């Protein structure tokens, strides 16, 4: 039989995933500044962050955060500060034109860790993801179904959707690298994404 609630969840999850937000802005900045490989690593960090939030929701951690005003406020302020820091860094960084980003060399392990860590931290410091899992997932769990197992299944499904979307997005963005890696275009894109990240951080501070 067709799982109607699962189909509904797939539709909702797809819409939420493709909606521009902090994760997409971060991946854009990483691809523009460091290339496609770094974009993969940042995307993996984002996906792992989603999985951790989903697991936390399944065991009640995300529910505790959303129920505690103090914890939610603290995480929101930290997440906003991190987004603002990333945005400011985008403005002061020298850009790929000054770092030899045009080369096709394999990214070393330390370079891979940086984008991955950025994606992971950016996702973990966004309390809206925790609230999303806590408030949305229960709506797609039918009476009698094992709550934890069903929640984990939905969380993994969500992470898979995010992974597929980011993979497509990175490929598309990397296809036009000849355009955005022109020094003037690259710097303009870096600054635009920087403004977006700062704006998202300020929005997270004041509007939650």
Q: What is the pLDDT of residues 56-89, one digit of tens each?
A: 888 886 677 667 778 778 877 887 887 788 788 7
- Tell me, yes or no, whether 167 lies in a domain: yes
Q: Mean pLDDT across the stretch 27-46?
A: 90
Query: Which structural domain, as residue segments, surrounds residue 131?
Result: 27-98+107-207
For residues 82 and 39, which has the higher predicted lDDT (pLDDT)?
39
Cα–Cα distances in angstroms (integers) from residue 87 to residues 5, 197, 201, in the given order:
38, 5, 9
pLDDT value, residue 117: 92
Confidence of residue 96 (pLDDT cuts 50, 70, 90): very low
How many residues belong to the chain? 208
- Tell me, yes or no, whether 8 lies in a domain: no
Q: Mean pLDDT across the stretch 79-104?
A: 63
pLDDT value, residue 160: 94
Q: Mean pLDDT across the stretch 104-124?
A: 70
For residue 17, give the nearest of 56, 47, 39 by alpha carbon: 47
Lowest mean pLDDT among 14-18, 39-43, 90-94, 111-115: 90-94
For residue 12, give the nearest of 128, 158, 166 by alpha carbon: 158
- Tell me, yes or no, whether 1 lies in a domain: no
- Tell me, yes or no, whether 159 lies in a domain: yes
- Tell me, yes or no, whether 162 lies in a domain: yes
User: What is the rounded average pLDDT for all residues in the chain?
Assistant: 78
Model confidence, pTM: 0.74
- Tell me, yes or no, whether 132 lies in a domain: yes
pLDDT value, residue 186: 66
Distance (Å, whole) CA 123 – CA 86: 13
- Tell me, yes or no, whether 141 lies in a domain: yes
List, in sequence order, every beta strand (DSSP E) within 130-186.
Answer: none
- Tell me, yes or no, whether 11 lies in a domain: no
Per residue in 135-169, pLDDT (tens digit) is 777 777 777 778 788 888 888 999 999 999 999 99
For residues 186 and 58, which has the higher predicted lDDT (pLDDT)?
58
Q: Mean pLDDT across the stretch 161-183?
A: 82
pLDDT value, residue 47: 95
For residues 56 and 19, which has the higher predicted lDDT (pLDDT)?
56
Give SS3 for 144.
coil
- Structural domains in the chain (count): 1
Distance (Å, whole) CA 118 – CA 140: 31
Confidence of residue 110 (pLDDT cuts 50, 70, 90): very low
């Amino acid at each position: 039989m067709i799982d109607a609630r699962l189909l509904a969840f797939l539709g909702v999850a797809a819409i939420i995933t493709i909606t521009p937000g902090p994760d997409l802005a971060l991946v854009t900045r990483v691809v523009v500044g460091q290339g496609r490989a770094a974009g993969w690593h940042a995307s993996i960090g984002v996906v792992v962050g989603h999985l951790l939030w989903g697991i936390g929701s399944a065991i009640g951690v995300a529910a505790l955060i959303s129920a505690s005003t103090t914890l939610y406020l603290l995480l929101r302020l930290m997440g906003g500060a991190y987004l603002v820091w990333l945005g400011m860094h985008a403005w002061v960084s020298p850009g790929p034109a000054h770092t030899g980003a045009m080369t096709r060399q394999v990214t070393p392990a330390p370079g891979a860790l940086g984008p991955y860590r950025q994606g992971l931290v950016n996702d973990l410091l966004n309390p809206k993801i925790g609230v999303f899992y806590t408030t949305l997932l229960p709506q797609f769990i039918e009476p009698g179904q094992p709550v934890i197992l069903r929640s984990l299944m939905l969380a993994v499904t969500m992470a898979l959707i995010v992974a597929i979307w980011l993979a497509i997005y990175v490929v598309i963005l990397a296809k036009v690298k000849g355009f955005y890696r022109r020094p003037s275009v690259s710097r303009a894109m870096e600054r635009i994404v920087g403004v977006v990240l700062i704006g998202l951080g300020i929005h997270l501070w004041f509007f939650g």
